[in-house]
Amino acid sequence: MKKSVLFGLLSVLLVMASCKSKESAYKQAYEKAKAQESAQVQVNAPMQVTPVATTPVKADNYDSTPVRQEQVSAVSVTGALKPYSVVCGSFSLQANAQGLKDYLIAEGYQAGIVKNVQKNMFRVIIGSYDTKAEAAKAREAFKVKYPARTDFQGSWILLNK
């Protein structure tokens, strides 16, 4: 009986002693982190900022905008399919194209799906336009609205043959 009580007291003492060493280890780690933090603050010196000169860009010069020519047919388009369209996604499965179309309609676009039968690809368009300039303006506005979406940054203009 005495041995078990003695053993219990000894184990309690060991546990308490081990806690104390952990506390000091945490304290040492905290002090080291604080020292590193203060060293980083001292290293960072104020930087001189130089203003960036911007040059105005002509907004109405869309002659150099590249256009792809494909023969497409309307799969699900609101209204008539005009000569120029802005394509923001291409899929081999119509269900995937439908998902992007539904997303764009929820975002306020008159999105549609056209199909290139020759390549068996479904193209998701954000709109259809009479002129190349209108399509180029719409494409640029679309890309500006979604700067974080790299897939939308690759949108392009389709000319229906």
Tokens of 84: 């120029």
State which CATH number among 3.40.50.1220, 3.30.70.270, 3.30.70.1070, 3.40.190.10 fits the domain covering 67-160.
Answer: 3.30.70.1070
The DSSP element (H or E) to which 1 belongs, if any, is: none
- Mean pLDDT, rounded, for 138-154: 91
The structure's pTM equals 0.60
**22 Cα distance to chain centroid:** 44
User: Going edge to edge, which strands form the sheet with 73-76?
Assistant: 67-70, 156-160, 84-91, 121-129, 112-116, 73-76
Q: How confident is the model at residue 157 (pLDDT cuts 50, 70, 90)?
A: very high
Instruction: Please give the Cα distance from 61 to 78 (Å, whole number).
Output: 28
Residue 146 one-letter amino acid: Y
